Amino acid sequence: MNVEDEVLRVTGVEKRYRVGDRSLDVLRGVSLSAKRGEYLALRGSSGAGKSTLLHLCGGLDSVDAGTIIVAGETLTSMDAGALARFRNRRIGFVFQAYQLLPELTALENVALPARIARIAAPIAAKKARALLDRVGLAERLEHRPNQLSGGEQQRVAIARALVNEPEVLLADEPTGNLDSRTGSEILRLLLALRAEHGTTLVIATHDSRIADQAGRTIELVDGRIAMAQEVTG
């Protein structure tokens, strides 16, 4: 892979947690990279370390060893303030449980990261409306999360993740709370938006149907990369 095309590089990453009086090794020397615009799937059973790796790549947690570079910036050397600013502007997140703020409307939820990035309210709202229209929710702008279906909430979450035009979109089991039909629709939407925006998409999943559509699939077993498979043709 041409280094100039890289948007994500993980090198020798280790992560462990204390559980009572013992140490639990979750990631054990993981290394991988992803290029701009790529769709990379992290596959593995529950407890394999895929969600932990995704959170580390997004700067939501800190490594115990190794380095993570996103869009040319070394996350593992940033202080908390710099990391929060970088995360807001350059990385988008989609979670299994949506993580929408219940007191905010769909429009307000999507505009929030832009407002945190100090984008003027009218511009943030315009960007949010355009994205909600793109994900098929133009008629639901003023609805709060409890007035939306699971699939609609995930569409709001996807729009929110893209409002600041991030280089990397990280999705942790984005279809895990959805029925198979809605899950397939959400995956198609993610892939379409990735193509439109040129965003690198990394999805953590245990679902082979999702992983099979990725350009590359990386299998995690007990915190180590067991296999990397690239789709050709």
Q: Which domains does the chain have, with CATH numbers?
A: 39-48+79-230 (3.40.50.300)
> Whole-angstrom Cα distance, residue 136 to residue 152?
9
SS3 143: coil
Mind listing the pLDDT tens digit for each residue in 2-22?
A: 556 899 999 999 999 988 888
Backbone phi, psi, residue 125, to 5°: -65, -40
CB 99 within 8 A of CB 170: no
> Whole-angstrom Cα distance, residue 189 to residue 210?
13
Mind listing the pLDDT tens digit for each residue in 161-206?
A: 999 999 999 999 999 889 999 999 999 999 999 999 999 999 999 8
Q: Model's pTM, two decimal places?
A: 0.92
DSSP states of 41-100: EEE--TTSSHHHHHHHHTTSS--SEEEEEETTEEGGG--HHHHHHHHHHHEEEEETT---
